[in-house]
Structure 1
Amino acid sequence: MIDDMIRLIEAATGASERWHELGWPATFGPRGVEVSSLAEAEALQRNAVYREEAVNYWRQARLIGADTARSGRQAIEALKAGRLDTACDALYLCQYLEKPFEGHRAMTWEPVFEAFRTSLLSRIS
């Protein structure tokens, strides 16, 4: 059970580290122009009104993705050491940090946190 959870966390960690590359549909500016990654945002014409908004959004996705990946690795180490409470805290932080991107299909960490809560925490209750 713990090995399965570790694999799930590893997959989420890899995904969140690449949020800014893989992206998801996100719209910017008054006309709702879709810009789905940091590379797309940076490729926009410098005079595009929504360019800075899109670049800042995807840079934030990169930063939060790195933060959640770091916390995900902490959860893995805690699981390996048998510290379920520490793993729970790390995964809670991941899904909390992800919340600004919920409406944009990041949805990487919330399912992991819920799987952890239902499968592993039920064993210690």
Structure 2
Amino acid sequence: MAFTAQAVGSYLEEIDMSSELNQLLDGAIATSKQWAEKGWPMTFGRYEVNSVIEARALADTVNTRIEANAYWEDVAEVGEETAEHGEVAKKALAEGNAMKAKQHIFSAFFEERKINDAAPTWGPVFAAVDK
């Protein structure tokens, strides 16, 4: 069987894409796991509570404490769920199952949009496979 330059080039592009996608997945997985700890600007009542750490540190007398903690705990849970989808996607890619990988990347993207419509973590990963 002879290899054409086009076939070799296509194969090399696939390898580069797979490597690039794995890097994107690694970054998104790590970032997702840190959403709640790193946080972002959020206000609960008259209190700015920008992470799960800040929410846990609120005094018991703060009336928005329960709401802030519930929000940031939800963010932590969604972060873990999206990271898990990312891990499954990586495994699927390694096994050559691109469809399964894409489905889990979409699931992570969809989950992130529940807490951040712009999906800055999983949006770029989804865009890379949605071609």
TM (norm. structure 2) is 0.82
Q: Between the two proteins, what is the percent identity of the paired residues?
A: 37
Q: CA deviation at 1:39?
A: 0.6
Instruction: Name the amino acid aligned to 1:81.
Output: E
Question: Over residues 48-95 of structure 1, what are the superposed CA-to-partner deviations in whole Å (9 max), with x where a residue is unaligned?
Answer: 111111100010011111111011000001111111100010001001
Structure 1 gap segments, 5+ residues each? 119-125
Separation in structure 1 between the aligned mates of residue 101 and residue 34 of structure 2, nearest angstrom: 22
- Residue 20 (structure 1) aligned to one of 9, 33, 36: 36
**Aligned equivalent of 1:117:** 130
TM (norm. structure 1) is 0.86
- Residue 84 (structure 2) aligned to one of 70, 73, 86: 70
Runs of 4+ with deviation above 3 angstroms: none
Are 1:97 and 2:83 counterparts? no
**Aligned equivalent of 2:74:** 60
**Aligned equivalent of 2:18:** 2
**Aligned equivalent of 1:122:** none
Separation in structure 2 between the aligned mates of residue 106 and residue 48 of structure 1, nearest angstrom: 31
Q: CA deviation at 1:107?
A: 2.2
Structure showing greater Rg: 2
The number of residues matched between the two structures is: 115
CA shift in 2, pair 1:55/1:106, >3 Å:
farther
Q: CA deviation at 1:106?
A: 5.8
- Residue 79 (structure 1) aligned to one of 93, 118, 127: 93
Separation in structure 1 between the aligned mates of residue 119 and residue 43 of structure 2, nearest angstrom: 14
Structure 2 gap segments, 5+ residues each? 1-16
Work out whether residues 19 and 106 of structure 1, in 8 Å CA contact, stay in contact via their aligned partners in 2: no
